[in-house]
Amino acid sequence: MTMLQTPARRRRAGTGAPPPRTRNWPGSASGVAGRVLALGLILGIAVWAAVPLVSSGAWTGVAITAVATGIALYAYLSPRRLPAKYLLPTTFLLVAFQVFPVLYTMSLALTNIGDGHLGSKQEAITAIETSSVRREAGSAEFRLTVAERDGALVFLLADPATRATYAGTPDGLRPLDGAVPGPGGRIAAADGYTVLTGAQAAARSAEITALTVPVDGGAIRSQGLTRAYQGKAVLAYDAGCDCVTGEGRIWRSDETQGRFVAADGHALPQGWQVGVGLANLTAALTNPKINAHFAGVFAWNLVYAVGVVVLTAALGVAAALVLHHRRMRGVRAYRTLIVLPYAMPAFAMLLVWRDMFNTDFGLINRLLGLHTDWLGTPLTARLSVLLVQLWLGFPYMFLVATGALQTIPDEYLEAAEVDGASPWQRFRQVTLPLLLLALAPLLVSSFAFNFNNFNGVFLVTSGGPFPSDNPTVGATDLLITYTFRLAFGQQGAEYGLAAAMSIYVYLIVAVISIIGFRRTRAFKEVT
Amino acid sequence: MRTIFRAPALGLAACLALTACGGGTPADTPAAQAPTTAPAEDAATATLTIWADQKRSETLKPFAEAFAKENGIKAEVVAVAQNQQQTFVTASQAGKGPDVLVGAHDWIGNLVQNGLIDPIQLTEDQLSGYVDVARKAVTYDGQVYGIPYAVENLALFRNTDLAPKAPQTFDELVETGKKLKEAGRVEEILGYTISQQDGQSGDTYHMYPLYTSGGGYLFGTKPNGDPDPADLGVGTPESIAAFEKVAALGEKGAGALKRSFTSDNSAALFADGKTAFLVAGPWRLADVRTAGVKYDVTPVPPFKGGDPARSFVGVQAFFVASKGQNKALAQEFVTNTLATPEVAQALFDAEPRMPALKTALAYAAGKDPDVAKFEAAAADGVPLPAIPQMVAVWGPFNTLIHAVVKGEPVAPAVKAAGKAIAEQLGQTG
């Protein structure tokens, strides 16, 4: 940095004139090169992002890219607009990783998206019709050769039983004379038809799948590239009545449910995504199955989050204080040991802890000679998840507290000592308030994290133990693990409901965090 | 100034790319679904994509490459390590899924309701080449949705040094185990997976043989052979009676079944000679053989005077993706290449699972005597239900198993589980 600046300084010194405070870019050749490179990179990425978007006709995406690039160039092509240079990247990151996911979650909450309702109505209709095609029992299986005539696909069909040969087109089936038999009973060549090679057929795969040759009582369709069968689509969509008919029944389109429903209530499994308005959001409040256990789960969730924060902070601060003592020896070794749990992958550690709690084979019972069913009774299970999270979380608090302790001037404590304060008073009146000043915001964010600590509970207890008379809510369930089971444990995944629930969890955490941050400001006034 | 400027510019570039991608993905889908009418010259670019788990993908690679060469296309076998069904659903919906999927038959219900796999049309002759249970398993709503290649089910492993004679009933098994334990020759009466790996909820899959032998069932059967979600067997008097028998073997009963048993630790017990019996599937053969224990495999015995102990049969199969780009190729590959005995044999050689194709089964039985033993154990087996409603069963039933084995009152626990399942089925059904 200093070296780079020297030529410029020298030049200014040489001219003897005051440095021009103009709109000129300061900097050397390499600085300019760096800027050109960075701007080139922005443009390059914009083009790289835009090309596939344009080719797929995603004009919204193109517009977003263009606007984003424009704003970036506007900010960085001028030596001015310094605030924008700082704000832009953070704003972009905020939009990409915070605003967009939140808005997307909210938009999902207004739909019934989930298993059976993933795609559009058209996709559902295609799936219903395709899966209803049934092979005519006992009908011939044709040997298929895909050919073309004047660019149009033709199925050259050989019936291995009767040795009859046919040419099939969308217009129907005609007998074919003069076909040359080939290997596997298939037709190798026929006059007037060009047999497609494997590669040519592969390229027209979608056309081959779509081609149906109408015959009496059904149609001949391909099954791969070398076989064809006679079958019939049992169900068909009728745009006139917006319904699916077949097997003597009618399933009418129900746009509120996003599926085809018959008069007797039977619904076709393939549904589609529809807007359900606020139904998911109100379900969380009004559906007794969901809200019956809310209060209990919420209370334990609060205890868990507060408990983890208080315990980890207390242990972390205590460890930091001990190691901060002037006469402490081997501090470095202790610090390394204490930070160890923080350095290990939490995911793996949670699973190791879970196995250590096993009644018969777990390390804890074996070491202590106990036979405690740790994860099997509500109280011990709750203690266990708190203990695990304490072990995982206190090194972080220890690190922060160690740093904060070093910023507290010794003079304060010495002054207090001179004033005759006892060690406890010195800690209580001087060290702790100053520590909390640094720790308080982190305690709030730790609370928010632990309030939603899915892994910390799900990997250790899965929310259990469950009371035998109610298998839906367990003793260590947090709101997030409870809603996870609700949204994904029933008829497959219900993303819409899950999104609605996560909005509520988000609101709860947001409110508590805001209150928390307000309170931390109060700390400042005290000191 | 200089350094300040450069760093944000790079950050911006990065997030620009991210936002652009974020905005673009949903719009990709319609284009991907438009029928491709590419001219023949583009043939070389057609790529058949196959998704399989690690082991299968290695075995299938040479077959896929040979098929690609023959048809002048490219083939790519992708190993999907985890969460294969969910990954397939998400990717297919985004238009980025494979053409062929290798997976378990009990995915069929969910994949069909999402419109993601196509029926495969086979003649009666072709179908008769497969063992009955495999054929039944891949048939859903009267249609065949996959080509089965392997069958897995539970059986009883027995340490022949400790227990030379195969028990005829489960009661006899427990008696033998108890005597061995009292004599100090083993630590546990038997190894029986009660808990999921997390130790926190029961394992429905492993409990099913005892549950059915006690007279219980999960779902009734529809006329077309599919399980009938309207006829729920959990909460019925039969299911309570079945769980009473399980409770008698539980922690407050004979102490044969314990919640601390998971699939891993019960297999380890058997491999270390610390128990004479283990109820497990063919996936444990490798462990047991490595451990060098003298063993035999027989069907899981029923309760004395009870129904047969039915094991859930899991069938591994090949599926054709509805939203694949090369469906005709995928059908060709699945029905004419993957359905051959050569592929089934290669898969068996890679991992000893019972082949679903009869000719391959004969080959496997000739190579490995345990294959026939697992086949015998599958005789009373039923395919794992493929209907999407099964999702509603796992949670409550798993919890129920834990409650019963722990020694809680049986009847209220079974009724509560039945009620919870019924509620979940009713909510969207």
Chain segment A254-299, per-residue pLDDT in tens: 888 898 999 888 888 899 999 988 888 888 788 777 777 888 888 9
Residue numbers in A near B327 (CB within 8 A): 205-206, 209
**Which pLDDT value is given to residue A492?**
67
pLDDT tens digits along A362-393 = 888 888 888 888 888 899 999 999 999 999 99
pLDDT bucket at A309, cuts 50 / 70 / 90: very high
Gap between the Cα atoms of A125 and A118, Å rounded: 13
pLDDT bucket at A10, cuts 50 / 70 / 90: very low
On the question of pLDDT at A12 being above 50, the answer is no
pLDDT tens digits along A432-484 = 888 888 888 888 889 989 998 999 998 888 887 888 777 778 899 998 888 88
The residue-averaged pLDDT of A12-27 equals 50
pLDDT tens digits along B230-245 = 899 999 999 999 999 9
Report the gap between the CA of A459 and the closest CA in chain B (Å). 7
On the question of pLDDT at B156 being above 90, the answer is yes
CB contact under 8 A, A93 and B15: yes
pLDDT tens digits along A109-122 = 999 888 888 889 99
Tell me if B110 sits within 8 A of B89, measured CB to CB.
yes
**Which pLDDT value is given to residue B309?**
94
Gap between the Cα atoms of B109 and A133, Å rounded: 17
Q: Give the nearest chain B residue to A118 (CA atoms).
A: B114
**Which pLDDT value is given to residue A524?**
57
Report the gap between the CA of A245 and the closest CA in chain B (Å). 17
**Which pLDDT value is given to residue B26?**
37
Pick A2 or B171 by higher pLDDT.
B171
**Which pLDDT value is given to residue B179?**
94
**Which pLDDT value is given to residue A56?**
82
Tell me if B346 sits within 8 A of B157, measured CB to CB.
no
Q: Please state the ipTM of this predicted complex.
A: 0.76
**Which pLDDT value is given to residue A525?**
52
A29-33, A425-429, B303-307 — which is least confidently predicted?
A: A29-33
On the question of pLDDT at A24 being above 60, the answer is no
pLDDT bucket at B424, cuts 50 / 70 / 90: confident
Question: What part of A 320-339 touches B (C-beta under 8 Å)?
Answer: none
**Which pLDDT value is given to residue B43?**
43
Q: What are phi and psi of A436, to 5 degrees?
A: -60, -30
**Which pLDDT value is given to residue B45?**
66
Q: Minimal CA–CA distance to A219: which of A186, A176, A174, A170?
A: A170
The H helix count followed by the E strand count for chain A is 21, 15
A518 in contact with chain B, both atoms CB, cutoff 8 A: no
Angle at A187 between CA A184 and CA A191, to 5 degrees: 165
A22: helix, strand or coil? coil
Test the A interface: residue of B4, B12, B112 with most A CBs within 10 Å? B12
**Which pLDDT value is given to residue B144?**
93
CB contact under 8 A, B115 and A124: yes
Q: By CB neighbour count within 10 A (0-12 exposed, 13-18 middle, 19+ buried), where does A156 fall?
A: buried
CB contact under 8 A, B112 and A270: yes
**Closest Cβ–Cβ partner in A65, A95, A127 for B115:** A127
Gap between the Cα atoms of A176 and A213, Å rounded: 15
Report the gap between the CA of A510 and the closest CA in chain B (Å). 25
pLDDT tens digits along A207-263 = 898 899 998 878 899 988 888 999 888 898 998 889 999 888 899 998 888 989 998
Test the B interface: residue of A65, A289, A468 with most B CBs within 10 Å? A468
A526 in contact with chain B, both atoms CB, cutoff 8 A: no
Structural domains of chain A sorted by starting position, each given as residue range(s) with its CATH number in brackets: 31-109 (1.20.58), 121-236 (no CATH), 291-520 (1.10.3720.10)
On the question of pLDDT at A26 being above 70, the answer is no
On the question of pLDDT at B318 being above 90, the answer is yes
The residue-averaged pLDDT of A183-200 equals 86
Report the gap between the CA of A449 and the closest CA in chain B (Å). 23
Q: Give the nearest chain B residue to A114 (CA atoms).
A: B114
A390-399, A439-448, A513-522 — which is least confidently predicted?
A: A513-522
Residue numbers in A near B141 (CB within 8 A): 131
Q: Give the nearest chain B residue to A288 (CA atoms).
A: B423
Report the gap between the CA of B376 and the closest CA in chain A (Å). 31
Residue numbers in A near B6 (CB within 8 A): 34-35, 38
A35 in contact with chain B, both atoms CB, cutoff 8 A: yes
pLDDT tens digits along A89-110 = 888 899 888 899 989 999 999 9
Question: What part of A 409-468 touches B (C-beta under 8 Å)?
Answer: 459-466, 468
**Closest Cβ–Cβ partner in A58, A203, A461 for B40:** A203
Structural domains of chain B sorted by starting position, each given as residue range(s) with its CATH number in brackets: 12-152+313-383 (3.40.190.10), 155-310+388-424 (3.40.190.10)
CB contact under 8 A, B198 and A201: no
CA distances from B299 to B178, B280, B372 (A): 20, 10, 11
Query: Which strand (E) or helix (H) includes residue A228?
Result: strand A227-233
pLDDT tens digits along B375-407 = 999 989 999 999 888 888 888 899 899 999 999
The residue-averaged pLDDT of B307-331 equals 93
Test the A interface: residue of B1, B16, B108 with most A CBs within 10 Å? B16
**Which pLDDT value is given to residue B119?**
93
CB contact under 8 A, A50 and B20: yes
CB contact under 8 A, B119 and A124: no
**Which pLDDT value is given to residue A25?**
58
CB contact under 8 A, B20 and A64: yes
Tell how strand B191-192 and strand B277-280 pair up. Answer: parallel
Report the gap between the CA of A324 and the closest CA in chain B (Å). 36
Residue numbers in A near B1 (CB within 8 A): 26-27
Pick B44 or B80 by higher pLDDT.
B80
CA distances from B183 to B104, B168, B190, B312, B346 (A): 43, 22, 15, 34, 45
The residue-averaged pLDDT of B259-268 equals 91
Q: By CB neighbour count within 10 A (0-12 exposed, 13-18 middle, 19+ buried), where does A137 fall?
A: exposed
Question: What part of A 161-180 touches B (C-beta under 8 Å)?
Answer: none
A3 in contact with chain B, both atoms CB, cutoff 8 A: no
A408-412, B112-116, B276-280 — which is least confidently predicted?
A: A408-412
**Which pLDDT value is given to residue A521?**
67
Q: Minimal CA–CA distance to B119: which of A133, A294, A163?
A: A133
Q: Give the nearest chain A residue to B13 (CA atoms).
A: A42
Residue numbers in A near B122 (CB within 8 A): 135
**Which pLDDT value is given to residue B34?**
38
Report the gap between the CA of A50 and the closest CA in chain B (Å). 8
Gap between the Cα atoms of A58 and B22, Å rounded: 12
Report the gap between the CA of A361 and the closest CA in chain B (Å). 7
Test the A interface: residue of B6, B10, B19 with most A CBs within 10 Å? B19
Residue numbers in A near B337 (CB within 8 A): none
Residue numbers in B near A472 (CB within 8 A): 395-396, 420
Question: What part of A 78-137 touches B (C-beta under 8 Å)?
Answer: 85-86, 88-89, 92-93, 95-97, 100, 115-116, 118-119, 123-124, 126-128, 130-131, 133-135, 137
Q: By CB neighbour count within 10 A (0-12 exposed, 13-18 middle, 19+ buried), where does A212 fall?
A: middle
**Which pLDDT value is given to residue B14?**
40
pLDDT bucket at B29, cuts 50 / 70 / 90: very low
SS3 string, chain B, reads CHHHHHHHHHHHHHHHHHHHHHHHHHHHHHHHHCCCCCCHHHHHHCEEEEEECHHHHHHHHHHHHHHHHHHCCEEEEEECCCCHHHHHHHHHHCCCCCCEEEEEHHHHHHHHHCCCECCCCCCHHHHCCECHHHHHHHEECCEECCEEEEEECCEEEEECCCCCCCCCCHHHHHHHHHHHHHCCCCCCCCEECCECCCCCCECHHHHHHHHHHCCCCCEEECCCCCEEEEEECCCCHHHHHHHHHHHHCCCCCCCCCCCCCEHHHHHHHHHCCCCCEEEECHHHHHHHHHHCCCEEEECCCCCCCCCCCCCEEEEEEEEEECCCCCHHHHHHHHHHHHCCHHHHHHHHHHCCCEECEHHHHHHHHHHCHHHHHHHHHHCCCEECCCCCCHHHHHHHHHHHHHHHHHCCCHHHHHHHHHHHHHHHHHHHC
Residue numbers in A near B392 (CB within 8 A): 489-491
CB contact under 8 A, B27 and A58: yes
The residue-averaged pLDDT of B74-94 equals 89
Average pLDDT, chain B: 86
The residue-averaged pLDDT of A488-507 equals 80
CA dihedral A74, A76, A77, A83 (to 10 degrees): 80
Report the gap between the CA of A372 and the closest CA in chain B (Å). 12
**Which pLDDT value is given to residue A265?**
83
Residue numbers in B near A481 (CB within 8 A): none
